[in-house]
Amino acid sequence: MQTENPASPPVRRSFFDTKIEFLKGVGPQRADLFNTELRIFTYGDLIQYYPFRHEDRTKFYTIREMFEGMPYVQIRGKLDYIEEAGEGHKRRLIGYFIDSTGEIELLWFQGIQWQAKNLKVKQEYVVFGKPQYFNGKYSIVHPEMELYDPKTPLPTGGLQPVYNLTEKLRKKFVTSKQIGQMVRQVLDQVSPHLRETLPQDIIRRRDLISKAEAMESIHFPKTVHALEQAKNRLKFEELFYIQLRLLKQKLVRKVEYPGQVFKNTPDADTLLNVFYRQHLPFELTDAQKRVIREIYRDMSSGKQMNRLLQGDVGSGKTIVAFICMLMAIDNGAQACMMAPTEILADQHYNGLKQFADMLGVRIGCLTGSTRAALRRDIHQQLQLGMMKILVGTHALLEDVVQFKNLGLAVIDEQHRFGVAQRARLWQKNDHAPPHVLVMTATPIPRTLAMTLYGDLDVSVIDELPAGRKPIKTVHRYDAHRLRVFGFIREQLQQGRQAYIVYPLIEESEKMSYKNLMDGYESVARAFPECHISIVHGQMSAGDKDFEMQRFLSRETHIMVATTVIEVGVNVPNASVMVVESAEKFGLAQLHQLRGRVGRGADQSYCILMTDYKLSKEARTRIETMVRTTDGFEISEVDLQLRGPGDLSGTQQSGVLDLLIADLAKDQYILQEARDAATQLLEADPDLTSYENQPIRRHIESLRKEETNWSRIS
């Protein structure tokens, strides 16, 4: 590594806050590179930049011992000669490397001039890399090369760390080995500064190694066992502090945030009782009744409710929300429901209005398309308390929207809203924050719910309404299209309707539109006798609504659409969902799309159309959809495939910037960490005991930007 003379370090809060430029061999220029490429700014960041794997550098192979599919190998031999070949993007440098058993090619496609200048022909090297077999011979692309010095003893023990690098770092000739050398420098200086961050009681009961041992062994373990112990300790600690923070916030909220007290007298003629006895359109499931009881307990407790309501597509979350709204209205308050799209907001409004009208409850809908005159009227009725329920989109967040007394805020498909947006809705009542019910039809894996929404109380509707039949899901290839169209025709002749959904092509809105229009034309040719609706993202809200209403009123028989219909569209007569190019959709999207059918009493079907060529991951998604309709099982598979950061818009939360833990794999450690945090807070909620001082110190040292916003949910 190129050495630059560092300036004197400035005064700092701690050793770990030292800027990385003051580390020997780094300097300002290289520090900028680490800042922008790896977000490593300080010594603390560096030692928490953990290797993604380790390599055993104690074993050497001969060229004759090579075989297809080998992992990374280390060989010792002589660089016989080098030559350049090819032109343009095919230009490469070839090094012919030999040992006593044979020859292997070393290939470079980048940094060719630098390599050609610095490689020493006829010299002995130690070469490390992944062998590939092509055209009857082995080669290693961009190997690590180190001149062999017989005076330097070969490594005899330990595993070598391998760190993730970006393309820019590689072009600047920064290697994993150099990062390891930097980490070694810091760890050698760190021993007097590295304090324990967990209480001895937890370390003893959980059989954890010390923080100092863990930091040494996560980078430079002597054995595989030592590496596993380090991973276990650091994963537990990371998840423990996340859970401690969430549970502490939950505790603080229950103590510090008063809530309006909503009571219901069973024998009184309240709106809730009248609706339940006279107007409820169907018998509630046991799961719905259980959830309503949980919500009632919260809203009558005197503390602000913050509850997540999970329920699969069609499980009846909206009727539960309406019953809770009536509870608020009976107690002199107002309620609102915020949805992510105008289509969904309009649908919620139309669904709730038929119930509200039965009871004489005034309800309004506010979206970006609401006319100015109607908007002013809604604002006035809200402020006077005449309008009891307001349904809408982001328009509800505008400062001009003022309630007389907002008692319950329902947020539907909340992962589509940003943190700051939810915070503004949370502040719509000056004297007491509204009770908050967050709803999602996107099932959240248990580990993700514990981490993302660990400070919320969780209710689950895990039962479909009586009379609903599970949707039959099948996989068909494009070659079967005529048979699929024949099946759709049979369903249409029975008076049913069908959706045909095309994927969005991210690279191009024009291509997505063309893809959809080509599909529309082929469907129109196949069904000349049918009326067909079309809905896509480039249409105005009014045009979308017009087409939706035509489909809902059965004026059209087939709806050709993009994923704009993914969430919330409710047409009970639709019995067939065809998803074209299903391999291009994620599992959550496929599950949501399937939920658009099966909303009536008739048997419904979901047909996943794909090409014959499917990636391993795409095949897993399709097989999962065919195997099960259980949204929670699907969400667990989705978590394994995609990882937590991409799931349900969770990257906006801030709690998923995990350094070492993996929510898809570390469920057991997460549960242990939450149990430990729960026990600790039950015994010492203010963390005042002597044994818990390491926790207090660590919390005080955490960066301000690590604050978790999810409490605003």
pLDDT at 330 over 80: yes
Mean pLDDT of 534-553: 84
Q: Considering the chain, what is the average pLDDT of its residues? A: 85
pLDDT bin (cut points 50, 70, 90) of residue 440 is confident
CA distances from 476 to 234, 314, 425, 470, 588 (A): 46, 25, 45, 19, 20
pLDDT at 34: 93
Q: CATH homologous superfamily for 59-154?
A: Nucleic acid-binding proteins (2.40.50.140)
Nearest-angstrom CA–CA distance, 702 and 140 = 43
pLDDT bin (cut points 50, 70, 90) of residue 569 is low
Mean pLDDT of 416-431: 69
For 593, the token pair is 């799309």
Which of 202-211, 253-262, 416-425, 591-600 shows the lowest per-residue confidence on average (mean pLDDT)? Answer: 416-425
pLDDT at 419 over 60: no
Q: Are 397 and 421 in contact (CB under 8 A)?
A: yes
pLDDT at 158: 65
Using the structure block, give the residue that is written with the tokens 């242990």: 672
Sign of CA dihedral 477, 479, 481, 487: negative
Nearest-angstrom CA–CA distance, 224 and 205 = 23
pLDDT at 701: 73
pLDDT: is 617 or 664 the higher one?
A: 617
pLDDT at 415: 58
Mean pLDDT of 374-400: 93
pLDDT at 10: 41
pLDDT at 251: 82
pLDDT at 333: 94
pLDDT bin (cut points 50, 70, 90) of residue 676 is very high
For 298, the token pair is 């919260």
Q: Is the pTM of this model over 0.95?
A: no
The closest of 484, 651, 664 to 582, measured between CA atoms, is 484
Alpha helix stretches (DSSP H) within 39-166:
43-47, 112-118
The string of pLDDT tens digits covering residues 382-391 is: 999 999 999 9
Q: Are 121 and 81 in contact (CB under 8 A)?
A: yes
pLDDT at 323 over 90: yes
Mean pLDDT of 118-123: 91
Mean pLDDT of 314-337: 92
For 508, the token pair is 């191009």
pLDDT at 268 over 90: no
Domain coordinates in residue numbering, the chain: 59-154, 271-299+316-440, 472-628
Q: Class of the 472-628 domain?
A: alpha beta
pLDDT bin (cut points 50, 70, 90) of residue 146 is confident
pLDDT at 246: 85
- Architecture field, domain 271-299+316-440: 3-Layer(aba) Sandwich (3.40)
Same fold, 59-154 and 472-628: no
The continuous run of DSSP H or E covering 77 comes out as strand 73-85
The string of pLDDT tens digits covering residues 623-664 is: 999 999 888 788 888 888 876 655 444 443 444 568 888 887
pLDDT at 513: 66
pLDDT at 643: 67
pLDDT at 233 over 80: yes
> What percentage of the chain reaches a pLDDT higher than 90?
45
pLDDT bin (cut points 50, 70, 90) of residue 425 is confident
Q: Residue 699 gets which letter from DSSP?
A: H
Sign of CA dihedral 544, 549, 555, 558: positive
Q: Are 659 and 238 in contact (CB under 8 A)?
A: yes
The string of pLDDT tens digits covering residues 284-298 is: 999 999 999 999 999
